[in-house]
Amino acid sequence: MDALEILTDLDNVFPFFQPIFSADEHRVIGYEILGRYLSGDGIISLGPLFLDENIPEEYRLEIDHAVLKKALEKALSLEDDVLLFINKDADLLMYENAESFLSILFEYQEKGIELRRIVLESTERVYRGEVEQLDHLLNYIRTYGIKIAIDNKGNERSHLDRIGQIAPNILKVDLNELRSTNSAHVLHDILFSISLLARKIGATLLFKNIEMVYQLQFAWRNGGRYYQGFYLQKPAEEFVNRDILKENLRDKCHQFMNYEKRKLEALYRVTEEFNDRLTLFLQTKNRKMLPYEELIKELSLHLNDVAFRLYICDENGFQKSANIFKDENGWRIQPEYLQKNWSWRPYFLENIMKMKKEKKGIISDLYSDVETGESIRTISYPLNSIDYIFIDLSYNFLYEHDGLL
């Protein structure tokens, strides 16, 4: 891409706009501004140019601002609650401390575009400057009411510690890797950490690169408020009707809700079945009085078709029995687990208190077992007022029951 050729032909530099939709209104709430150039070979993206370090900063800045001015001029026709997402390379932002960028925003503020509608995403993929100086500049920009977005995909600076430092208003999550259902579980685990952090810092989740309905469902299920991608709407030179997908998104969300309700019903049903099964087992022959090792041996045979690990812990997380573990050779005792403590595990004490209060068993969320690497769930059941049975359900059992995976 010849930067000089583009620089001397700014009339053919222009913005494209990619709509961003909301989960709560099912309509367009903003546009991401993208740079385009009309060359002899057709329309090309200017994205690679803005990130090319071999092109002088002043060249890239002039082209970038040409796109921005034309975009803001067009945006004057939008309703005054529509957000405008602006990507700025961190090097270009720091090159002149954002002075020309802010002066353009101030100019269009006077024309009617309030700064609260601006969302700045500073791209740090090639940035090698002082992070503290960049953060200082971003905080300064934020004082004008401009929102800050950060993309979770990138180099090491885009990880959780970086997100925590900046405390962005909007956290963008790239779903490009979610091309098949096979990667959903791994990505879900990563997103769990991201969503917890987003909630702590008050950031809104925006899922981008949604190219299929499965990705949209994933974004909806994982707390995404904003959605963007080719499946919804491709970037274009003109703005779209804000309600262009209102009915479609409403129908899709209704389908997602029905699917999640069916899963919850399945979980509830399985939990009730296990409660009944375990209650009957323990009452028969008064098995509650058995020594714990004998108890888990008998229970393992009773649950041979569904479980692969059993053990008993007290309410403080100390293991009161050995593990009994099922492998290709059958069940075997693992005495080394006796007296291990599991209170550090997420939700352990919370679940203990829930069982103590409700006096019935519960089923865990889906997670990867450390020892086997498989996706499993755990049934927990109150044995008495202080001790609890833990039953790890096998992947095969989950696979055979709709809604458990």
Is residue 275 within 8 Å of 360, Cβ to Cβ? yes
Checking if the pLDDT of 213 tops 80, the result is: yes
Task: Give residue 347's pLDDT.
Answer: 86
Decide: helix, strand or coil at residue 271. Answer: helix
- Beta strands 28-39 and 13-22 are antiparallel
**Residue 257 has which token pair?**
């809700």
Could you tell me which residues are beta bridge partners of residue 382? Answer: 388
The residues, any chain, with a CB within 8 Å of residue 17's CB and separated by 6 or more, are: 31, 32, 33, 34, 71, 74, 235, 236, 237, 238, 239
**pLDDT tens for each residue of 140-186:** 999 999 999 988 654 344 467 778 888 899 999 888 877 655 556 66
Convert the pLDDT of each residue in 324-355 to its tens digit: 999 999 999 999 999 999 999 988 999 999 99
Residues in CB range of 326: below 8 A, 6 or more apart: 300, 304, 307, 308, 309, 332, 394
pLDDT tens digit string along 48-97? 998 888 899 999 999 999 999 999 999 999 999 999 999 998 888 998 89
The two domains 3-230 and 259-400 share their CATH topology (first three levels equal): no
pTM higher than 0.75, yes or no? Answer: yes
Which residues have C-beta within 8 Å of that of residue 358, sequence separation ≥ 6?
A: none
| Mean pLDDT, rounded, for 185-212 | 84
- % pLDDT > 90, the chain: 72
Instruction: Go through 113-149 and write b for each residue having 16 or more CB atoms within 10 A of its CB, e for each that does not.
Output: beeebbbbbbbbeebeeeeeebeebbeebbeeebbbb
> For the chain, how many helices (H) and strands (E)?
13, 16
* β-bridge mates for residue 368, sequence order: 375
What is the pLDDT, as a whole number, of residue 156?
A: 41
Report which secondary-structure segment, H or E, holds 330. Answer: strand 330-334
Which of the 8 DSSP states describes residue 209?
-
Residue whose token pair is 């002075």: 99
Kindly list the domain boundaries of the chain, sorted by start residue: 3-230, 259-400
- Identify whether the C-beta of residue 362 lies closer than 8 Å to the C-beta of residue 271: yes
Q: What is the pLDDT of residue 184?
A: 62
Q: Give the pLDDT confidence score for residue 186 in this predicted structure.
A: 67
DSSP letter, residue 318: B
Q: What is the dotted CATH code of the domain comprising 259-400?
A: 3.30.450.20
Position 347, amino acid? Y
The span from the first CA to the last CA of the chain, in angstroms, equals: 47
The arithmetic mean of pLDDT across residues 21-27, rounded, is 96
Neighbours of 254 (CB within 10 A): 10
Per-residue pLDDT reduced to its tens digit, 264-318: 999 999 999 999 999 999 998 889 889 999 999 999 999 999 999 999 999 999 9
pLDDT at 162: 77
Mean pLDDT over the full length of the chain: 91
- Residue 68's contacts (CB-CB under 8 Å, 6 or more residues apart) are 15, 33, 86, 101, 104
In the prediction, which pLDDT does 373 show? 84
* pLDDT value of residue 127: 66
Instruction: Name the CATH topology of 3-230.
Output: TIM Barrel (3.20.20)
User: Tokens at residue 111, please?
Assistant: 């024309």
pLDDT-wise least confident of 119-128, 139-148, 236-245, 355-364: 119-128
pLDDT at 158: 47
* pLDDT of 31 above 80: yes
